[in-house]
Chain A
Amino acid sequence: MTKEESQNIKGWKRPRNIATLLSVIVPGAGQLYNKRFLKGALILIVAISFLITTWNYIDIGLWGLFTLGTIPREHHSVQLLIQGLISLIVLAFGIAIYIYNIRDARADAIDGENGQRKPSLLHGISDFYNQGFPYFMILPGLLMLLFIVVLPLLFMLGLAFTDYNQYNAPPRNLLNWVGFDNFKALVNVGIWKNTFMSVFTWTIVWTVVATTLQIVLGLFLALLVNDKRVKFKRTIRTVLILPWAVPAFVSILIFSALFNPTFGAINRDILSQFEIMIPWLSDPFWAKVALIMIQTWLGFPFVFALFTGVLQSVPQDMYEAADVDGGTRWQKLRHITLPHLLFATAPLLIMQYAGNFNNFNIIYLFNEGNPAVRGQNAGGTDILISWVYKLTFETNNYNMAAAITIIMGLIVSIFAFFQFRKTAAFKEEGRY
């Protein structure tokens, strides 16, 4: 059949449509129709073995995902939920293979219509290797990512819409889908509402104040060390980076001891000189002050090192031009140094904010989120993530913990959005 003839055939009788249709009905059939026998047989075998091995699992998984089980003690809702989610992932892989099969059959048929010769077997294999190469590269990582990062997050997403808590736990009881009840409880039910509001506001204050302080201190020190008149720059830099080099959990626990009211050195050795005793661990306000000070101590070296690195890349001729125009030091800082620094580091600074928002370690290691506060089920210094930890591992309020996790996820996504905008802007600008 020549090129003209094949193009005269209209409608679905054209080979490309027949091949597509055959592949839609039976994976691999389109390839067989295209006379690509090995490929067709391979796809057919993969499809059949996929169905045989996973059909049962997916069937139960999807059923479990919808019902969460029907017979108490026999059906374990949590395991069914996980099986359901894994089924979704496996299904997605299956659909991807299926779509690949259809598109491949159509593309081959179009090639045939245009009179291109059927490639040899060896050629076909090498094509497959070339096109598939990036997929082989990412496959191991992708699988790990799906099961270790994505699946658990999906699971939390699911839990937030169930009634899983310490009184209603499998295998003794079945879980139920409860819609948005947990979220409603967070804003309506007294104790949850109070706790959520106070933890949420403190999380925001903590994120903004602690991160901004560490950035400002880091910036200030970087500018000072960069001053031409300062000597021993290397030594000064090394000492200033020290808090970053010491493992954070060690320094936090040291601070926790330092601030301890009975034996800690801050009250016993320093403040006692002025006859002051501050209840660092038992008063929420002072505990928060201590936490912010400690985080500044821990966090400024990173910002300092970052800014020091970038400062050296600020073009010197800009300063010389400013000198000629009689610019003051403040003007040079404001219009040359700061824009340059912030522009180059914005994505990393946004990550600092996100990092502190999720900074479980310092809250938990310093005082385990305590002191306890009357009328709420989180401690006075708990931020959202440490509250989630307590709800999950101490009081087994899985559903509420999951609901709060989702709210945190939304906030984190906002950080990611801004970071992406900054990163994209950076790329388009292309100055570096």
Chain B
Amino acid sequence: MNRKTKSKIELTFIYLFFIIMFIIIGYPLFWAVMMSINPGTNMLVTDLFPKNPTLEHYKWLFTSPRSDYLVWYKNSLFVAVLNSFGSVLITSLIAYAFSRYQFFGRKYGLYMFLLLQMFPALMGMVALYILLNTIGLTDSLWGLLLIYLGGQIPFNAWLVKGYFDTIPKELDEAAKIDGAGHMKIFISIMLPLAKPILAVVALFNFMAPFMDFLLPRIVLSSPENFTLALGLFNFINDQFSTNFTRFAAGSILIAIPIALVFLLLQRFLISGLTAGGTKG
């Protein structure tokens, strides 16, 4: 067997492997799409290829008086937008201080971020609930937002600080000689140069409220305050088999925009993670 045929056989196997992976990746997603256009809500009589496909579940989500889907969408957007802006603001301030200044506690602060980013919020949930209760923010989107904003600090501050470190110090020194103050350097030099990583932080924190169901489940209790993830989870939590088609329809409507944004921006995400995440 000469080298050329060997290479061809190899390549065929590689493509075959990709096809198998495509099927494994695609099947569950395809199945969910097909379920969402099955008529009726009874899972026991669904077909992968329904004889009379229908959009009734999508219609139900938007038009039925019993459906809170639009309210949940609005709630999620509200938390997501504020979370995205707030986290960029807070973390870039912290990262700037840690990247450019020497101050008391700087080194231990960095250790603390590294350690704290590994603790999931769930570990402190009891105390968080009691604290929210004391300041009257249980069952409130503001309370949820507050926890998101605080919880994202360790990881993102670390990430942004790493990126700031890659921006040459000579730039801010030159600006200082030209008479720029601390804030001026931060706003007109650091922030514009750090746009890629700030976009990553904004994106991460925008998507978090759409994906997370655990914190909303603990913090929020009335359906008109639910976020999408929690609302959809509750669709099928009680009667799994009877609501799955509706759940599938609702999920697809959030999965598609998120997946699109994600696929467009994932290159920045990866370069941000490898640039910022690995340099201490």
A309 to B268, CA, bound (A): 10
Q: Is B229 an interface residue (CB 8 A)?
A: yes
| A173 → chain B closest CB, angstroms | 17
Instruction: With CB as the reference atom, state the residue of chain A lying closest to B251.
Output: A250
| B254 → chain A closest CB, angstroms | 7
Q: A residues 252-299 with Cβ under 8 Å of B?
A: 253-255, 257-258, 260, 262-263, 265, 269, 297
Q: B residues 1-59 with Cβ under 8 Å of A?
A: 7, 11, 14-15, 17-18, 21-22, 24-26, 28-29, 31-32, 35, 43-44, 46, 48
Contact, CB under 8 Å: A227 / B153: no
- A148-B151, A388-B123 known; A141-B128 Cβ under 8 A: no
| B174 → chain A closest CB, angstroms | 18
A345 to B273, CA, bound (A): 10
- A144-B153, A148-B146 known; A361-B214 Cβ under 8 A: yes
Instruction: With CB as the reference atom, state the residue of chain A lying closest to B228.
Output: A247
A230 to B103, CA, bound (A): 52
Q: Which of these, A151, A229, A254, A416, contacts B127 with CB under 8 Å? A: A151
Of A16-24, A40-48, A57-65, A423-431, which binds chain B? A423-431
Contact, CB under 8 Å: B240 / A409: no
Contact, CB under 8 Å: A249 / B123: no
Contact with A along B241-280 (1 / 0, CB 8 A): 1001001100100110011001100110111011001111
Contact, CB under 8 Å: A389 / B25: no
Q: Is A354 an interface residue (CB 8 A)?
A: yes
Q: Is B171 an interface residue (CB 8 A)?
A: no
A406 to B24, CA, bound (A): 38
Q: B residues 125-142 with Cβ under 8 Å of A?
A: 125-128, 130-131, 134
Q: Which residues of A contact B213 (CB under 8 A)?
A: 249, 361, 365
Contact, CB under 8 Å: A297 / B24: yes
- A155-B124, A269-B48, A416-B118 known; A241-B94 Cβ under 8 A: no
Contact with A along B77-103 (1 / 0, CB 8 A): 000000000000011011011101101
| B29 → chain A closest CB, angstroms | 7
Contact, CB under 8 Å: A147 / B131: yes
Contact, CB under 8 Å: B240 / A227: no
Q: Which of these, A149, A254, A344, A416, contacts B28 with CB under 8 Å? A: A254
Q: Which residues of A contact B44 (CB under 8 A)?
A: 262-263
Instruction: With CB as the reference atom, state the residue of chain A lying closest to B279.
Output: A427
Q: Which residues of B contact A151 (CB under 8 A)?
A: 124, 127, 131
Q: Is A71 an interface residue (CB 8 A)?
A: no
A142 to B94, CA, bound (A): 8
Of A6-14, A115-123, A129-137, A185-193, which binds chain B? A129-137
A351 to B218, CA, bound (A): 25
Q: Is B115 an interface residue (CB 8 A)?
A: yes
Q: Which of these, B25, B97, B131, B240, contacts A152 with CB under 8 Å? A: B131
Q: Which residues of A contact B259 (CB under 8 A)?
A: 242, 245-246
A114 to B197, CA, bound (A): 47
Main secondary structure of the interface of A (DSSP, over half): helix
Q: Which residues of B contact A345 (CB under 8 A)?
A: 274, 278
Q: Is A306 an interface residue (CB 8 A)?
A: yes
Q: Which of these, B29, B106, B147, B150, contacts A246 with CB under 8 Å? A: B29
Q: Is A202 an interface residue (CB 8 A)?
A: no
Contact, CB under 8 Å: B93 / A141: yes
| A347 → chain B closest CB, angstroms | 5
Of A232-240, A320-328, A374-382, which binds chain B? A232-240
Task: List 27 A-B pairs, Cβ < 8 Å.
Answer: A140-B93, A141-B157, A144-B150, A144-B153, A153-B119, A153-B123, A155-B126, A155-B130, A239-B22, A245-B263, A249-B232, A249-B233, A250-B255, A253-B236, A253-B251, A257-B43, A260-B240, A262-B44, A263-B44, A305-B269, A346-B278, A347-B278, A361-B213, A408-B123, A416-B118, A424-B280, A426-B280
Which 7 A-B pairs give the minimum distances between C-beta atoms?
A152-B124, A148-B150, A155-B127, A152-B127, A134-B101, A245-B259, A137-B97
Residues of A within 8 A of B (CB): 78-79, 82, 130, 133-135, 137-138, 140-142, 144-145, 147-153, 155-156, 159, 221, 224, 227, 229-230, 236, 238-251, 253-255, 257-258, 260, 262-263, 265, 269, 297, 305-306, 308-310, 344-348, 351, 354, 358, 360-361, 364-365, 385, 388-389, 392-393, 398, 401, 405, 408-409, 412-413, 415-416, 419-420, 423-424, 426-427
Residues of B within 8 A of A (CB): 7, 11, 14-15, 17-18, 21-22, 24-26, 28-29, 31-32, 35, 43-44, 46, 48, 90-91, 93-94, 96-98, 100-101, 103, 106, 109, 111, 114-116, 118-128, 130-131, 134, 146-147, 149-151, 153-154, 157, 182, 207, 210-214, 218, 229, 232-233, 236, 240-241, 244, 247-248, 251, 254-255, 258-259, 262-263, 266-267, 269-271, 273-274, 277-280
